[in-house]
Amino acid sequence: MFSLPVSVRWGGFGLPAAIVFEMFFCAFGPVVNAQMTHVRGRVTDGATGEALPGASVWLVGTYDGATTDLSGHFAFTTERHGVGLVRISLAGYASDSVLIALQSDTVRLTFALREATARVGEVVITAGALEVSDRSRGAVLTPLDVVTVASAGADMYGALRTLPGAQVSTGDVEGLFVRGGTGSETQTFVDGLLMRHPFFASVPDFAVRGRFNPFLFQGTVFSTGGYSAQYGQAMSAVVLLETLDLPERTESRLSLTCLGASAGRQQVWERQGRAAGIEVNYTHLGPYFALVRQEPDFAQAPENVGGEAFFRQKTGANGLLKAYTYYNFGRVGFQSTAPDGQAQTFGLRNRNALTNLTWSGSLHKRWHLYAGASVSRDFSRISSAYTTVGQDTFSLRQTLAQGRLMATCALSTTTLLRWGAEHQAGIEVFENERYGRSMLPEHFTAAFAEADLTLGQYTALRAGVRFEYSALLQQSNAAPRLSLSHRAGRHGQVSLAWGHFYQKGDSLLRWREQWGALPGFQRAEHFIVQYQWLKDGRLLRAEAFYKRYAHLVSTNDGIGNEGYGHAGGLELFARNRALFGALDGWVSYSFLDTRRRFWWYPTAVEPPFAARHTVNAVARRFFPKLQTNLSLSYSGATGRTYWRPGQPAEALFTERTPAFHNLSISVSYLTRIGRAFAIAVVSVQNVPGVEQVFSYRFSPDGQTRQAITPPARRFFFAGLFLNWGADRRREVLENF
């Protein structure tokens, strides 16, 4: 057989030489000749050597070609003469081409295809990040998973708690406690903008839920460390939420649950590339609390009224303007008995308003621009009374305005550059009858630059740096970040990440007047090693991390940055994503070893928000005949340390609560009610009714203790979610 002096072979798509050649062929084609050339051969998987059936092999620019059989063989004939380009394509694999001479004999070809995922640019930086998405193949959860996890109760943060790295037994305080960090070390960003109040207003000894409706988002990344230089002011973790682009349909929604109701409507103007929607909701836990007895006694059961609205407008070919606004008013009040037997009351009223505006789009093929602005206000008024102390009222008013700009530029197919800046202007006014008033005006500026580089075929590197300046602290910092991913084998990937993460001292800053000073930035340094294996919806990952804390806010000897600490651990995650009708679910295990000295702690102790071992298992199955989805989840954690007054320094935080267990079940049934698509959901948290102790509170002398538990053993939820599409089903059928 004649072979060309240069055997030109192109792998992958879009190499310029191949395109030019193809254009040439499409225009002229090889010359026709009565004599036949036979092209035959075999196609295999380059990694395993297995035969690949169903692949298409053809002579470019002609109809001549064939499909490989079960043993990977193909054969076709062509009457063309001269030089031809044979191309092969199979879904899921990178296509391949080869130039051959067509001269009335038999040409034998073999192709060993690479999986398309091994293509350049497909190495995704994964260290630390856990993605929730419909679209990404590396995603660990889909948005639907979030709402169907039995233990989550349709709270996004509840679902994120079943992922490795997060604490599950911190049911006495809101927030995500990640890898030995406090809840405030995790920040939430919506479309790149910092959300100061992602949770409902804090209530002592209760974990409140996240504010946001999980259906608003098309993608969520939960990064438990080593994240991009785009994000700052989070020492432990970030939750990155991406709101939906243009919704597909005009529709109306109604949900009725045992806690309240909500109704919404969204309209899509397809031709104008525009959409708008509004949703109002009202929840009152009074009726539920009347049925299921709660401890303590709620004088004012949690009540919330609010609404949200959005607007989307396409601009140009691929620009999109997004506006979102949210308002909520909530109140709650209860009476309880303190460990020393005295009565105490607590009352809270909170108003929260938020408006976000973002635009993103391409200016040019290689340039992508993002601009965002947001204004938020939060007002909380808390009154508490304790028999011996009397009534005490304080209020906290927080206003934040922020702007953010970011540009992304593809310098080449292997280099992506990203840079931007953000500015936050905010003021916090804290008022208390006894301590007076303190004001914290802040102007915070940050700038960042980051490069994504593809080094060869299997390696990707991300290097970035972030600068921050706080006018309030009169301090600046520079945080370098690095991460590296390398494909190991067909389905494996090894990733490394390192970086510095700075954060201000949160609520302690409020006491500036009392301390007469302000603590500076705190710092965490992350080291992460990860191995991930992904094949056909099955994902395994193991991650080891070490985190070093420095300059933590301490108050032992006046306020300062004398604190320090460390956290190290190992996390495992395995998930099986069954397409449909099969068992689907995930398990995660986290080991955490951490000690820190901060706040008032006299020495480095094991902090009370860090269980050493945490386990989660979530299993779901959809039964097509019954149109029913059954979901079970179990979360378990070893005991947390707690503080008891009157202990000597060396014994502090050495006692532990009993282990925590939570088994939850959720059943959802899909049906139609009239013209509405309906989902009915019933779920129970802590089915066996195990006593769950989060921590203890003590009388001042340390002699009497009270367990901090959920307000009821079990939590029951029942809801009906209805969804109507407008102008749908004109019932053409009725016309016949």
Q: Distance between CA atoms of 108 and 111, rounded to whole angstroms?
A: 10
Q: 26, 299, 427, 478: which one contacts another protein (CB under 8 A)?
A: 26
Q: Which range, of 26-34, 120-128, 455-463, 481-489, touches another protein by CB under 8 A? A: 26-34
Site string (84-113) toward another protein, x via CB under 8 A: -------xx---------------------
d(CA 199, CA 211): 5
Write each residue from 184 to 223 as x if it is in contact with another protein (CB under 8 A), else as -, in one continuous string: ----------------------------------------
- Residue 668 CB, shortest distance to another protein, in Å, is 8
Q: Pick from 6, 34, 291, 579: which binds another protein (CB under 8 A)?
A: 579
Among the listed ranges 55-63, 400-408, 489-497, 522-530, the one in contact with another protein (CB under 8 A) is 55-63
Q: Name which position in 317, 341, 365, 536 contacts another protein (CB under 8 A).
A: 536
Q: Nearest 5°: phi and psi at 333?
A: -155, 140
SS3 170: coil
Cα 384 to Cα 410: distance, rounded to the nearest angstrom: 56
Burial of 3 (C-beta count, 10 Å sphere; 0-12/13-18/19+): exposed
Among 67, 110, 342, 647, binds another protein (CB under 8 A): 67
Interface with another protein (CB under 8 A), residue total 47
How far is the C-alpha of 353 from the C-alpha of 578, rounded, in Å? 40
Please identify which residue in 434, 580, 600, 650 interacts with another protein, judged by CB under 8 A: 580
By CB under 8 A, tell whether 77 contacts another protein: no
- Check the CA dihedral 706-709-710-713 and report its sign: negative
CB of 32 to another protein, least distance (A): 8
| AA letter at 668 | S
Binding mask 229-248 for another protein (x = CB under 8 A): -------------------x
**How many C-alpha atoms does 276 have within 13 Å on its Cβ side?**
1
Q: Does residue 627 touch another protein according to CB under 8 A?
A: yes
CA distance 15 to 18: 6
Q: Candidates 20-28, 523-531, 562-570, 699-707: pick the segment binding another protein (CB under 8 A).
A: 20-28
Question: Is it true that the peptide bond before 296 is cis, omega within 30 degrees of 0?
Answer: yes
Can you tell me which of 17, 38, 104, 134 binds another protein, judged by CB under 8 A? Answer: 134
Shortest separation between residue 604's beta carbon and another protein, angstroms: 47
Contact pick of 1, 2, 5, 63 for another protein (by CB under 8 A): 63
Q: Which of residues 428-487 bind another protein (CB under 8 A)?
A: none
Interaction between residue 21 and another protein (CB under 8 A): no
Among 70, 291, 317, 649, binds another protein (CB under 8 A): 70
Q: Label each residue of 459-510 as H, E or C.
A: EEEEEEEEEEEECCCCEEEEEEEEEEEEEECCCEEEEEEEEEEEECCHHHHH
Name the residue among 205, 206, 222, 203 with its Cα closest to residue 214.
222
What is the pairing mode between strands 367-386 and 715-725? unpaired
Decide if 222 contacts 188 (C-beta within 8 A). Answer: no
Whole-angstrom Cα distance, residue 339 to residue 701?
A: 10
Among 65, 82, 426, 492, binds another protein (CB under 8 A): 65
Binder among 267, 345, 457, 723 for another protein (CB under 8 A): 723
Task: Tell me which of 56, 243, 457, 561 binds another protein, using CB under 8 A.
Answer: 56
Interaction of residue 649 with another protein, rule CB under 8 A: no
Q: For residue 277, which of 307, 298, 319, 304 has the smallest C-alpha distance? A: 307
50 binds another protein (CB under 8 A): no
In a 3-state reduction of DSSP, which class is residue 676?
strand
- Residue 293 or 729: the one with the smaller Cβ distance to another protein is 729
Question: How many whole angstroms separate alpha carbon 325 and alpha carbon 268?
Answer: 18
**Closest to 630 in 3D by CA, of 620, 617, 644:** 620
Q: Are strands 237-243 and 186-190 parallel, antiparallel or unpaired?
A: parallel
716 contributes a contact to another protein by CB under 8 A: no
Q: Which of 10, 58, 598, 717 binds another protein (CB under 8 A)?
A: 58
- Pick the stretch among 345-353, 389-397, 666-674, 710-718 that binds another protein (CB under 8 A): 666-674
**Shortest reach from residue 614's CB to another protein, in Å:** 28
Exposure of 636 in the CB half-sphere (CA atoms within 13 A): 10
Does residue 14 interact with another protein by CB under 8 A?
no
SS3 647: coil
Specify the residue, 196 or 620, whose C-beta has the smaller distance to another protein: 620
> Which of 21, 206, 622, 698: binder of another protein (CB under 8 A)?
622
Chain residues in the site for another protein (CB under 8 A): 26-29, 32, 53-54, 56, 58, 60-67, 70, 91-92, 134, 142, 144, 148, 248-249, 536-537, 578-580, 622, 624, 627, 629, 670-672, 677, 723, 725, 728-730, 732-733, 736
